[in-house]
């Protein structure tokens, strides 16, 4: 089991010359809800990130699987943070456009998913600009839910990328994930350290690319490549508060 972040971890990341702080949204800054459009966002976590975003040589980004407009709507965030949706395919600053062929591939994936869930109460397909997402969290028969996820992951369509998550399978036509976005953004900024927090399996793509100077924090249970772990959203808020205080002190 990974340890909680230590005082040394916090001091080290806070002392970075140029720091990139990136957080997942659902399950990290906000609790889960049966209504995805109305999730309780932790105000202490937001306050700490806001403090960090005002400091020099410090950038804060929220990196989510939600599409960027949905992320902005659910979070209530404005211009204080860089908002990145669809696992890095779109951001508040720039957006990638799909070709006609890619769009057709995505539509085909949606059709396959819809066929899989015919007659299954609680299962549904979410249509995002860059993804088709099969959801089974509300399926009461958990064995059936797992079977649906397994079948979705076995979908074979040329040019389609499949990614499992918590009670979901996401289909995409761009080979972009959270890890590639963080890596590219770090290079663009010339940041010498990254702090990343996330709770889902899709966040493992970031933990996988972090180096010795970085701090990866897994939120909640589950196997992970992260160096450190915290229990829940309030623990995230506490950690971010400590990092904000230490970063402010380190910058003088």
Average per-residue pLDDT in the chain? 95
Q: What pLDDT, on a 0 to 100 scale, did the predictor assign at position 1?
A: 60
pLDDT digits (tens, 9 = 90+) for 48-57: 999 999 999 9
For the stretch 1-27, pLDDT in tens is 679 999 999 999 999 999 999 999 999
CATH topology (fold) of 7-95+176-251: Rossmann fold (3.40.50)
Q: Where are the domains of the chain?
A: 7-95+176-251, 100-172
The two structure tokens encoding residue 74: 């659910």
Q: Examine the pLDDT at 129 and tell me if it is beyond 90.
A: no
Burial of 119 (0-12, 13-18, 19+ CB in 10 A): exposed
Task: Tell me what percent of the residues of the chain surpass a pLDDT of 70.
Answer: 98
Whether this model's pTM surpasses 0.95: no
Calculate mean pLDDT across residues 227-249. 98
Q: Percent of the chain having pLDDT more than 90?
A: 87
Average pLDDT on 229-250 reads 98
- pLDDT of 94 strictly over 70: no
> 């992951």: which residue's tokens?
153
**CATH architecture for the domain at 100-172:** 2-Layer Sandwich (3.30)
């Amino acid at each position: 089991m990974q340890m909680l972040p230590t005082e040394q971890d916090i001091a080290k990341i806070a002392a970075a010359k140029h720091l990139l702080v990136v957080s997942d949204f659902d399950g990290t800054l906000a609790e889960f809800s049966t209504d995805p459009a109305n999730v309780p966002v932790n105000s202490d976590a937001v306050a700490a990130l806001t403090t960090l975003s005002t400091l020099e040589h410090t950038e804060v980004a929220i990196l989510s699987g939600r599409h960027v407009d949905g992320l902005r709507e659910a979070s209530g965030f404005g211009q204080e943070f860089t908002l990145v949706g669809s696992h890095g395919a779109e951001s508040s600053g720039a957006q990638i456009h799909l070709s006609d062929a890619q769009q057709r591939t995505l539509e085909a994936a949606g059709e396959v998913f819809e066929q899989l869930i015919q007659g299954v109460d609680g299962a549904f397909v979410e249509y995002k600009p860059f993804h088709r997402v099969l959801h089974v969290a509300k399926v009461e028969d958990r064995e059936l839910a797992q079977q649906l996820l397994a079948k979705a992951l076995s979908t074979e369509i040329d040019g389609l990328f499949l990614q499992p998550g918590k009670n979901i399978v996401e289909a995409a036509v761009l080979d972009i994930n959270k890890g590639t976005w963080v890596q590219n953004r770090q290079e663009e900024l010339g940041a010498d350290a990254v702090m990343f927090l996330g709770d889902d399996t899709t966040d493992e793509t970031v933990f996988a690319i972090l180096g010795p100077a970085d701090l990866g924090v897994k939120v909640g249970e589950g196997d992970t490549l992260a160096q450190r772990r915290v229990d829940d959203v309030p623990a995230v808020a506490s950690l971010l508060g400590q990092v904000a205080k230490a970063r402010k002190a380190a910058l003088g």
